[in-house]
Amino acid sequence: MTKLPLIAATLVIAALGLAAPALAASATSGNVPYCPTGTDLDYSSRADSLATQLQLSTKLNTTISQWNGCLRVTTVADGKAIMRFYDPDSFKLVAEIG
């Protein structure tokens, strides 16, 4: 009777262990971030608001652009570019590549 819960727990842990690397890789391995937004969104004002929220005026080599419905913040540090994609409505981080 005690073997069944132990086997079930082992299977759950194994499934989570196999799924975690796949989930982590999906944000950076070629999946294209997409932010479903309205057609009349003013990206310029949203980019200004995001820049203020992230205090980008104090960070060198950082740019914001509209990309696939998202706001893409590109930072270059030590010769490496890091791109972070934010939802323009909620400013929630959608993906990070770099």
pLDDT in tens, 47-93: 999 999 999 988 888 999 999 899 999 999 889 999 999 999 999 99
Task: Please name which of 39, 43, 57 lies closest in space to residue 87, comparing C-alpha atoms.
Answer: 43
Residue that wins the pLDDT comparison between 1 and 71: 71
- Which tokens belong to 17? 């262990």
This prediction has a pTM of 0.64
Residue 91 is predicted with a pLDDT of: 93
> pLDDT at residue 15 above 60?
no
Nearest-angstrom CA–CA distance, 25 and 20? 9
Q: What are phi and psi of 5, to 5 degrees?
A: -65, -35
Total Cβ atoms within 10 A of residue 35: 20
Which fold is adopted by the domain 32-98? Nuclear Transport Factor 2; Chain: A, (3.10.450)
List the chain domain ranges.
1-30, 32-98
Nearest-angstrom CA–CA distance, 17 and 69? 32
Average pLDDT along the chain? 75
